Amino acid sequence: MIQTVREKFSCRNCETITEPPAPFHVTPRGFAGPNLLAMILFEKFGQHQPLNRQSERYAREGIDLSLSTMADQVGACATALHPLYGLIERHVLAAERLLHGDDTTVPILAKGQTVKGHIWTYVRDDRPFGGQTPPAALYYASRDRRQEHPTRHLQSFTGILQADAYSGYNELYDASRAQGPITPVHCWAHARRQFFELADIATNARRDKNAAAISPIALEAVKRIDALFDIERGINGQSAEERLRVRKEQSAPLVIALEGWLREQRARLSNSSAVAKPIDYMLRRWDRFARFVDDGRICLTNNAAERALRGFALGRKSWLFAGSERGADRAALMATLTMTAKLNDVDPQAWLADALARIAGIPQGRINEVLP
């Protein structure tokens, strides 16, 4: 408990009364300091602990923090930190070349039920090709998965987008797009996963009699794709020029051979074959898979975006749903701040406490000094 005494003084000559200004509060008329608020925020959005569980834990320690009080403080903190979200948004969308994009479902509470909302993420991370630009992750929330959302999110972006084959991105790839088309790139890890499920010997062994037969074609496909991953491990973090040189020398022949082998195998398979589906998935989009051979800045996988969404996949089992569309937007804002801090090897809770303590006293033109 911090008790602040503000003594009033009056002038005997002019009878003017003076009083020291009130100490800064992170939230309007708030009683909680930046360290407590940062703990609440990080527990909720970084460790996925709902406010009701936090309130119960504080009660066991003899601290009276009601659910409604904590919710009000979270909302006030999100408002105070919103300018930082805007700065990160501009930084991510200003990427000259590559963005990783993905989305996941988040139930949003509606009248008497929940609707299948979505959290979208766009990650800028130039470290795999030796870039010095700080990495950052940007999140948006939406009530549905209509294509208007990625179209609005990436309205000003014209580089390369590495994402899945979701048709909602197609408008961004249109050559007649006013800002210029975005170049699509697909994820080899996603394609490999479909073959791996048909060739997973360990999983089949646990299924005993119910196990499906191991597909030799899928097993061979996994081995060929793994050869590309082995090459990528050796050039991760090197310059784009060096990555391009190695890919031209080592990866390009393997990619050409893989395409020919897949087309040969597909010609022998019926449409009902289980392994035909992952083969078709790759061959129909082969130019998007093979594009990494011609650009050292393109990554082989979209794992950066998938890792950024892992917290929401875990959190759904804990907090179950977002209480409103505004709550989902707030979760997207706080996820942007905490994940960006993690990507830059900064302790999110310590950074939040520092940001909340400083942000009100920094001029608008210098607010970028608070970024992680």
pLDDT (tens digit per residue) in 108-165: 998 888 899 999 999 999 999 998 899 999 999 999 999 999 999 999 999 999 999 9
Percent of the chain surpassing pLDDT 90: 72
Instruction: Spell out the residues 6+ positions from residue 146 whose beta carbon is closer than 8 angstroms to its own.
Output: 168
Both 75 and 168 in a single domain? yes
Distance CA 244, CA 187 (A): 18
Does pLDDT of 214 surpass 80?
no
Residue-wise DSSP of 314-353: HHHHHH-SBSSHHHHHHHHHHHHHHHHHHHTT--HHHHHH
Both 159 and 308 in a single domain? yes
Domain boundary among the residues 301, 316, 339 is at: 301
Domain boundary among the residues 279, 301, 323 is at: 301
Do residues 101 and 150 lie in contact, with contact meaning Cβ atoms separated by under 8 Å? Answer: yes
Distance CA 124, CA 136 (A): 5
- Which SS3 state, helix, strand or coil, does residue 75 take? helix
Does pLDDT of 212 surpass 70?
no
Both 283 and 351 in a single domain? no
Q: How confident is the model at residue 318 (pLDDT cuts 50, 70, 90)?
A: confident
Nearest one of 105, 133, 100 to 117, comparing CA atoms = 105
Both 175 and 209 in a single domain? no
| The one-letter amino acid at 76 | A
Q: How confident is the model at residue 104 (pLDDT cuts 50, 70, 90)?
A: very high
- The average pLDDT across 200-214 equals 59
Please check whether residue 234 lies inside any domain of the structure. yes
Tell me what pLDDT residue 74 has.
93
Cα pseudo-dihedral 355, 360, 365, 367, rounded to 10: 10
Does pLDDT of 208 surpass 80?
no
Q: Bridge-partner residues for 184, per DSSP?
A: 161
Q: Structure tokens of 294?
A: 């011609």
Please check whether residue 8 lies inside any domain of the structure. no
Give the pLDDT confidence of 27-74 residue by residue, as tens digits: 766 778 899 999 999 999 999 999 999 999 999 999 899 999 999 999
Q: How confident is the model at residue 315 (pLDDT cuts 50, 70, 90)?
A: confident
Give the pLDDT confidence of 161-205 residue by residue, as tens digits: 999 999 999 999 999 998 899 999 999 999 999 999 888 755 554
Both 136 and 201 in a single domain? no
Domain boundary among the residues 264, 282, 301 is at: 301
Largest Cα separation within the chain, whole Å, is: 103
How many distinct structural domains can be found in the chain? 2
Both 67 and 119 in a single domain? yes
Tell me what pLDDT residue 352 has.
96
Distance CA 143, CA 153 (A): 14
Both 160 and 251 in a single domain? no
Nearest one of 278, 273, 287 to 184, comparing CA atoms = 287
**If you compute the radius of gyration of the chain from its CA atoms, what whole number of angstroms results?**
26
Burial of 316 (0-12, 13-18, 19+ CB in 10 A): middle
Q: Which domain holds residue 81?
A: 22-187+303-372
Both 43 and 33 in a single domain? yes
Please check whether residue 4 lies inside any domain of the structure. no
